[in-house]
Amino acid sequence: MAKWGEGDPRWIVEERADATNVNNWHWTERDATNWSSDKLKSLLVGLSVENEEGKCEVTEVSKLEGEASINNRKGKLIFFYEWNLKATWTGKSNAGVKYKGTIEVPNLSDENDMEDLDISVSLNKDEPDTPLTNLMKTEGAEKIREALGNYVGSLKTEFTQGMILPTANGVAKTQTTSQSKAKQDKTRISSSGSTTAPVNTGVKIPTCKFSMRETFLTSPADLYRVFLNQEMVQAFTHAPATVDGERGGKFRLLDGNVFGEFTELVPDEKIVMKWRYNNWPCEHYATISMSFLDRSNETELKVECRGVPDSEEERTKEGWKRYYFEAIKQTFGYGARLF
């Protein structure tokens, strides 16, 4: 059965299990349409730009037509996506006047580079002219292009988690993933031609490492206890939390948005943990190492982060500053100096 049209370079033929699969290859196809629809909306809605004239924001994705899928064929992942989308933007001038317009992207496709996307921004016909239209056509369009690029990147990393991996020796291995994601596989045809350990040639997640330092007006022992005591964690996060402050103990906080496991504990000196946001690729954790340094009447906290997805670097830094550093200082009175 041919897909996507004969003559198309993405053309793939799906074979029955008893067909002439002489090389013992494995392939799957996963439908990414629903996931893509949700991802595109989450990336676009709320996107904003502003200047001295006022502020504009994408408030709604009003039309999203198309499809997306990933095929694992003969040791290669083939990505297909084609979207025609329309969104609504609203603007508000510094004088308080409100405006409304539309954004159209008719050619978000695997055949087009991000630079070649047609991003059309217009002001609704019944609206008076405003400099905010130009703001959306320039800075707004670039932010939209960046968001759509993030979608493509996530499709190639985040969504591929759990697909059957192509291997050179004919053994298919499934990545660790949740049952709900595994059910999204539309086709899974395989045969057991060898028992040799497979060579993993799946998609790797680009990651980064960085470090942060913060000073708290308290002792290392008191600050160390803040991270391991469930009641204290609930106090500075202002939400229910589960914290098992022992080596191998699990934690979950901020309404389940952050969770992980303590892997090394040196009392009053060091905490090492597996740590992740709940929307990171399945089973992917960063390694967070915290060192508590005694600086006479204060404590310097050094936080080293490794394995953070590239696209999550800034969000992770800001999250630690806001939900850990600043929240702990405000809750327990450990000072307000930031650097």
pTM over 0.85: no
Name the DSSP letter for residue 199: P
Domain boundaries, the chain: 28-156, 207-332
Question: Edge-to-edge, what's the strand order for the sheet holding 250-253?
Answer: 207-216, 298-309, 286-295, 270-277, 258-266, 250-253, 242-243
d(CA 98, CA 88): 13
Return the structure tokens found at 251: 């934690």
Tell me, rounded to whole angstroms, the distance of Cα 255 from its chain centroid.
18
Name the DSSP letter for residue 153: H
Look-up of token digits 């002439």 = 20
pLDDT, position 13: 32
Q: What residues in the chain have per-residue pLDDT under 70?
A: 1-29, 72-76, 159-204, 336-339
Secondary structure (3-state) at 215: strand
Q: Give 28-156's CATH code, choosing from 3.15.10.20, 3.40.50.300, 2.40.50.140, 1.10.3720.10.
A: 3.15.10.20
Give the class (CATH, top level) of 207-332: alpha beta
Which distant-in-sequence residues (6+ apart) come within 8 Å of 171 by Cβ?
A: 192, 193, 194, 195, 196, 197, 198
Return the structure tokens found at 35: 């996931």
Condensed to tens digits (0 to 9), the pLDDT of residues 89-122 reads 999 999 999 999 999 999 898 888 888 889 999 9
d(CA 121, CA 105): 9
